[in-house]
Amino acid sequence: MSADYQVQNNVAVITLNNPPVNGLGLATRSAAVEALQRADSDPAVKAVVITGAGKAFSGGADIREFNSPKALTEPTLHTLIRTAESLAKPVVAAIHSVCMGGGLELALGCNYRVALPGAQIALPEVKLGLLPGAGGTQRLPRVLGLEASLDMIVSGNPVPSEKLADKSGGNALFDEVFPAGTDLVAAAVDFANKVADVRRPGAPPLPKVRDRKVEHADPQGFLEAVRARVKAAAGAFPAPLECVETVAASVELPFEEGCKFERERFIHLTQTVESKALRHAFFAERAASKVPDVPADTPVREIKSAAVVGAGTMGGGIAMNFANAGIPVTILETKQEALDKGLATIRKNYENTVRKGKLSPEKCEQRMALVKGSLSYDDIAQADIVIEAVFEDMGVKETVFRQLDAVMKPGAILASNTSTLDLNRIAASTSRPQDVIGLHFFSPANVMKLLEIVRGDATGKDVLATALALSKKLKKLGVVSGVCDGFIGNRMVEQYIRQAGFLLDEGALPQQVDRAIENFGFAMGPFRMGDLAGNDIGWYIRKRRAVEMPGVAYSKTADLLCEQGRFGQKTGAGWYDYQAGDRTAHPSQAVDEMIVRHSQDLGIARREISDQEIVERLVYALVNEGAKILEEGIALRASDIDMVYLSGYGFPLYRGGPMFYADTVGLANVLAAIGKYARGYHGEAWTPAPLLQRLAAEGRGFNG
Ligand code: NAI
């Protein structure tokens, strides 16, 4: 049963029962409609209470039904809501914990709403690029008024139930919010009996939200101001403004016409690429934590304490993640000076957050108290997990792992934060490769959501399962990658950066490349990104690769830049010039001249390069390498690659990630463009991925 029926004290109690959050899937809707009809025809029943079992009233539409015809099969959500609304007996929604989306729309179709305090109330559809499509945009303004309902619908953010019961202005979502700890069903049954008792012949009809009017002194003036504000904030996403227009319809149109308009705009939004991208990301995020050969019941190791080796840029940020999650962490360094500097940076970061009002001074101290420093391996030997974040040098890493192998307690997880190096080799320097895993954080490690979890050939399944569970505890998005140079993210970005360099040789300047890709929607172009991360990192990696992989060509411009000491923001100069204490990138005449001179040295006649070519070359370089990564099994699924790029590389969310974007362009079109660029400068970089060729020939996409 997905809706239970029980009569208590002459009141039918219908309990939505579809774990985990009582999603309003087809079976639940059918059972709820049947229960409402049963209550209607039962002479012993005076009124109805609808509530939810377990952890929610209802989280809304059943996400498992998304994109399936089930969502449109009768009884639809509309039918359920209208059945509740047109019942001859009073219907009371009894809300606790979570009431969102379709759940709230159902509650709005009831005659009365009561709640416990602390319930999260929201219409979050906008977060998936949609709008509430079952009357929410027409009913909520009739209850809460224009301003409060617009806030909720346009932001999608939850509001606690106790804030929605203030009737002083005549607007309240709830007829009553009971004191905390009240037995909700018993109180709702009493409430239902009370409202039923006053229903004698001649009494006014049952209150229905649809019969109310949206009150506002100057709706048009107010809506104009909101349109301007929302338009500016929404960027490329159409849904927020569509939310405003449908709410506006609740003021301007009769209820039924408003609902028709809402339906039309809802269907329009479901077809937009932006909503498809957001829904893709929503499902991709959930898929990422699943590894086919590591079932959900795989045992995990307990992580109650942690250690980090290296207190540099990454080590400090990684340690903060543990402290934020309440896990004590010890940082190991070789020199007191480096340790002091690392610990001071952590304190400074926390104090900045306190200054911004986002952390209380007490919490700052609590977190600092969880972070210890040490110069001795003995002090970290008992940690449940140790993450190495020392220099990106195989020799140094092997030495560290040999020492970790010697001191760490049995069962401890030995992780490396390496961004490119061979994890299998690192694991082989220990006697326990099954305990070794890559945990690749992104800079700044205390901020960036992405965590690449690198599975070595010997990594134990329980170690992988523990890393996935840990990523959730640290509020990261864990994506599993196999072992290869650069793993998923950096191996792909390598091809993107190579193309950016070739574009300079051929005629573009850094500011043009950055502008084109930023207009496409990237948070930051490749040259501004290089200046932020430090151009010396890539320089160092290219030197290593020149030995390990001779024959891979790069533009020499980046090396010329580094030879001048222009490492980026940290040296006050990189691809751009910087003024002290300011991160604004100013085009550099010296760099531009250096680039032009280099083209001359190569004998290249510089040409005008279109923004379209820049975008295609950078993005398709990601796509082509992504396809190789997918085919080699380095990534488990195309959507994992998209999540890496959305959460770690500033790829525009409304385009859904590189693989999803390629699907929207059409793989045959992507392949044709790759063929064209393969005939150009350094065309050898464009060997098409066999998977891309195959899917394009079959007329398919990466995501099915
Ligand atoms: P960093 O140079 O800022 O810090 C390295 C720290 O390790 C230094 O404080 C050094 O004193 C310490 N160290 C060196 N050898 C040691 C040893 N034997 N025992 C204890 N401490 C030792 O380097 P960064 O940027 O933090 O990078 C560390 C690792 O993280 C590298 O593997 C790098 O590839 C990776 N990484 C770096 C990212 C970045 O954006 N900087 C992003 C993701 C990963």
Report the nearest-CA residue for atom 40 of ligand 1: 443
Q: Report the nearest atom of ligand 1 relative to the CA of 533.
A: 40
- Residues lining ligand 1, Cβ inside 6 A: 309-315, 332-334, 338, 389-392, 396, 400, 417-419, 440-443, 533
What pLDDT is stored for residue 71 in this prediction?
80
Within 10 angstroms of residue 297's Cβ, the number of other Cβ atoms is: 7
Q: Report the nearest atom of ligand 1 relative to the CA of 400.
A: 18
Expressed in angstroms and rounded, the spacing between residue 625 Cα and the centre of ligand 1 is: 27
**Same domain? 448 vs 319:** yes
Expressed in angstroms and rounded, the spacing between residue 541 Cα and the centre of ligand 1 is: 14
Q: How far is it, in rounded angstroms, from Cα 77 to Cα 68?
A: 14
Last residue within a domain, chosen from 431, 462, 481: 481
Tens digits of residue pLDDT in 529-569: 999 989 998 898 888 888 888 888 999 999 999 999 999 99
Whether 286 is covered by a domain: the verdict is no
Expressed in angstroms and rounded, the spacing between residue 89 Cα and the centre of ligand 1 is: 68
How large is the greatest C-alpha to C-alpha distance in the chain, in angstroms? 97
Report the nearest-CA residue for atom 20 of ligand 1: 333
Q: Report the nearest atom of ligand 1 relative to the CA of 388.
A: 29
**Same domain? 466 vs 494:** no
Q: What pTM was computed for the model? A: 0.92
**Same domain? 504 vs 466:** no
Which residue from 314, 388, 404 has its CB within 8 A of the most atoms of ligand 1, so it is best to mutate? 314
Q: How far is it, in rounded angstroms, from Cα 71 to Cα 65?
A: 6
Which residue from 377, 380, 391 has its CB within 8 A of the most atoms of ligand 1, so it is best to mutate? 391
Q: How far is it, in rounded angstroms, from Cα 684 to Cα 687?
A: 6
Residue 105 among the catalytic residues: yes
Give 319-388 as a DSSP string.
HHHHHHTT--EEEE-SSHHHHHHHHHHHHHHHHHHHHTTSS-HHHHHHHHHHEEEES-GGGGTT-SEEEE
Expressed in angstroms and rounded, the spacing between residue 388 Cα and the centre of ligand 1 is: 8
**Same domain? 199 vs 216:** yes
Q: How far is it, in rounded angstroms, from Cα 493 to Cα 658?
A: 11
Task: Flag residues of the chain having pLDDT under 50.
Answer: none
**Same domain? 503 vs 477:** no
Tens digits of residue pLDDT in 279-293: 999 999 999 999 999
Whether 296 is covered by a domain: the verdict is no
Point out the catalytic residue in the list 34, 65, 85, 125: 125
Report the nearest-CA residue for atom 39 of ligand 1: 443
Point out the catalytic residue in the list 85, 105, 242, 616: 105
Q: Report the nearest atom of ligand 1 relative to the CA of 314.
A: 26
The C-alpha torsion from 441 through 443 and 444 to 449, rounded to 10°, is -50
**Same domain? 257 vs 371:** no
**Same domain? 359 vs 400:** yes
Report the nearest-CA residue for atom 38 of ligand 1: 443
Q: Residue 522 phi/psi, 5° resolution?
A: -60, 145
Expressed in angstroms and rounded, the spacing between residue 315 Cα and the centre of ligand 1 is: 7
Query: Which class for 603: exposed (0-12), middle (13-18), buried (19 or more C-beta within 10 A)?
Result: exposed
Sign of CA dihedral 283, 288, 293, 295: negative
Helices (H), 86-145: 102-109, 136-144
Q: How far is it, in rounded angstroms, from Cα 618 to Cα 612?
A: 10
What pLDDT is stored for residue 166 in this prediction?
81
What is the crossing angle of helices 146-155 and 239-252, to 10°? 160
**Same domain? 529 vs 445:** no
Expressed in angstroms and rounded, the spacing between residue 596 Cα and the centre of ligand 1 is: 35
Q: How far is it, in rounded angstroms, from Cα 379 to Cα 434?
A: 23
Expressed in angstroms and rounded, the spacing between residue 331 Cα and the centre of ligand 1 is: 12
Report the nearest-CA residue for atom 10 of ligand 1: 310
Q: Report the nearest atom of ligand 1 relative to the CA of 316.
A: 26
Report the nearest-CA residue for atom 16 of ligand 1: 390
What pLDDT is stored for residue 170 in this prediction?
67
Whether 493 is covered by a domain: the verdict is yes
Last residue within a domain, chosen from 247, 270, 293: 270
What pLDDT is stored for residue 169 in this prediction?
67
Report the nearest-CA residue for atom 4 of ligand 1: 312
Which residue from 390, 449, 536 has its CB within 8 A of the most atoms of ligand 1, so it is best to mutate? 390
Range of the domain at 141: 3-270
Helices (H), 408-451: 423-428
Q: How far is it, in rounded angstroms, from Cα 91 to Cα 88?
A: 9
Which residue from 308, 309, 313 has its CB within 8 A of the most atoms of ligand 1, so it is best to mutate? 313
Q: Report the nearest atom of ligand 1 relative to the CA of 397.
A: 18
Expressed in angstroms and rounded, the spacing between residue 192 Cα and the centre of ligand 1 is: 64
- Looking up residue 433, the CATH number of its domain turns out to be 3.40.50.720
Expressed in angstroms and rounded, the spacing between residue 312 Cα and the centre of ligand 1 is: 5
- Looking up residue 119, the CATH number of its domain turns out to be 3.90.226.10
What pLDDT is stored for residue 545 in this prediction?
81
Whether 193 is covered by a domain: the verdict is yes
Whether 281 is covered by a domain: the verdict is no
- Looking up residue 570, the CATH number of its domain turns out to be 1.10.1040.50
Report the nearest-CA residue for atom 43 of ligand 1: 442
Q: Report the nearest atom of ligand 1 relative to the CA of 390.
A: 7
**Mean per-residue pLDDT of the chain:** 95
**Which residues touch 355 (CB under 8 Å, ≥6 apart)?**
none
Which residue do the tokens 């940082």 mark?
331
**Same domain? 470 vs 592:** no
SS (H, E, C) 241-269: HHHHHHHHHHHHCCHHHHHHHHHHHHHHH
Whether 285 is covered by a domain: the verdict is no
Report the nearest-CA residue for atom 25 of ligand 1: 313
Query: Quick check: 146 and 115 in contact, CB under 8 A?
Result: no
Expressed in angstroms and rounded, the spacing between residue 310 Cα and the centre of ligand 1 is: 6
**What is the total count of domains within the chain?**
3
**Same domain? 361 vs 223:** no
304-333 in b/e form (b: 16+ CB < 10 A) is ebbbbbbbebbbbbbbbbbbbbebebbbbb
Within 10 angstroms of residue 357's Cβ, the number of other Cβ atoms is: 7
Whether 609 is covered by a domain: the verdict is yes
Last residue within a domain, chosen from 219, 244, 270: 270
Whether 123 is covered by a domain: the verdict is yes
**Same domain? 514 vs 396:** no
**Same domain? 381 vs 454:** yes
Expressed in angstroms and rounded, the spacing between residue 481 Cα and the centre of ligand 1 is: 21
Expressed in angstroms and rounded, the spacing between residue 487 Cα and the centre of ligand 1 is: 18
